[in-house]
């Protein structure tokens, strides 16, 4: 089955976690279980190896095995997006070539990081990747991780010239994202990673969402998207309010937030739902504590995800 990204790239694309064994290698059986679970819940596509998927921490053999499993599960029914996150252009080209060979429909590409990069450098980065690999590219704007923002003018230039087909926006810049939605070139796909803003950006004209919280409650996001798309805004608001409550699983008991705790709550949620066997994280993230597990379970029950 051939994917038509112009029509099928929309809705909820969970940035799925990567299940690990106790030895911190890919748990292949649990990975397949996660991918099948997301499709059963109505996900409109899958995004592998983003921040939620601990993509930058995976070894190449595990990345390749997980991609192969996902491609077999999806079988061309929905878009499969593969994150290629590395500090250098040549590293990303190598990963993108493998992803394409394994059946990815598009790759999600972060800007260059570690060495300081200008907006001009970013244009060179994305154009070089596009010239080297014949696969659609999403720009992954996540400055909290890469320490560099892809500016609106840069995204517009890349979109207008066809270097990128869309943006996965995890910048936290709601105003900037609305400006991008308002001025995007025809055919450019825009997805938000901001769980709290899904209804608002859908109303503004976004194509969908790639929310890490979908690892905890994918059904809520699918229902919200479908309600908003059908014009049932009262129901969409109700679901957005439930998502706001579910978001509390990401908040530490002391009111702070950190990446290890957030990914741990995602994996805990999927283990509690019987989808994965372990909630193991890569080092240096700490193991999931009894307090995290209890808090996650309580909130999930409150919103009907358990």
Annotated binding site for pyruvate: 210
| 114 is an active site residue | no
Show binding-site residues.
Answer: 210
- SS3 call for 189: strand
Determine which one of 10, 168, 189, 267 is catalytic: 168
Burial class (CB in 10 A: 0-12, 13-18, 19+), 301: exposed
Number of alpha carbons in the 13 Å side-chain half-sphere of residue 160: 10
H helical segments located in the chain: 5-8, 28-40, 60-74, 89-101, 119-132, 143-146, 152-160, 174-183, 198-204, 218-229, 233-246, 259-272, 290-303
| 168 is an active site residue | yes
At 14, give phi and psi (nearest 5°). -60, 130
Determine which one of 126, 140, 225, 261 is catalytic: 140
Q: Which two tokens stand for residue 101?
A: 């060979």
Q: Which two tokens stand for residue 228?
A: 């908003």
Annotated catalytic residues are 140, 168
């Amino acid at each position: 089955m051939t994917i038509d990204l112009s029509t099928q790239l929309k809705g909820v694309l969970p940035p799925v976690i990567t299940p690990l064994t106790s030895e911190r290698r890919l748990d292949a059986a649990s990975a397949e279980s996660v991918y099948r679970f997301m499709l059963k819940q109505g996900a409109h596509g899958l995004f592998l190896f983003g921040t939620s998927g601990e993509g930058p921490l995976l070894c190449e053999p595990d990345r390749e095995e997980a991609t192969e499993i996902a491609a077999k599960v999806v079988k061309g029914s929905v878009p499969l997006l593969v994150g290629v996150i590395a500090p250098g252009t040549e590293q990303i080209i190598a990963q993108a070539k493998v992803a394409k060979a394994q059946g990815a429909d598009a790759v999600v590409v972060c800007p260059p990081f570690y060495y300081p990069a200008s907006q001009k450098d970013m244009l060179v980065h994305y154009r070089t990747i596009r010239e080297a690999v014949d696969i659609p590219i999403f720009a992954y704007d996540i400055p909290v991780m890469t320490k560099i923002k892809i500016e609106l003018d840069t995204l517009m230039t890349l979109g207008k010239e066809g270097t990128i087909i869309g943006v996965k926006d995890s910048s936290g810049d709601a105003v900037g994202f609305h400006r991008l939605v308002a001025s995007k070139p025809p055919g450019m796909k825009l997805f938000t990673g901001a769980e709290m803003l899904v209804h608002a950006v859908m109303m503004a004209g976004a194509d969908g969402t790639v929310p890490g919280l979908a690892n905890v409650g994918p059904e809520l996001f699918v229902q919200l998207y479908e309600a908003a798309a059908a014009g049932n805004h009262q129901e969409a608001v109700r679901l957005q309010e439930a998502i706001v409550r579910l978001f509390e699983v990401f908040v530490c008991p002391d009111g702070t937030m950190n990446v290890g705790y957030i990914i741990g709550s995602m994996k805990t949620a999927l283990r509690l739902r019987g989808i994965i066997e372990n909630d193991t994280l890569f080092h240096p993230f700490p193991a999931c504590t009894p307090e995290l597990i209890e808090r996650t379970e309580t909130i999930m029950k409150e919103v009907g995800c358990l």
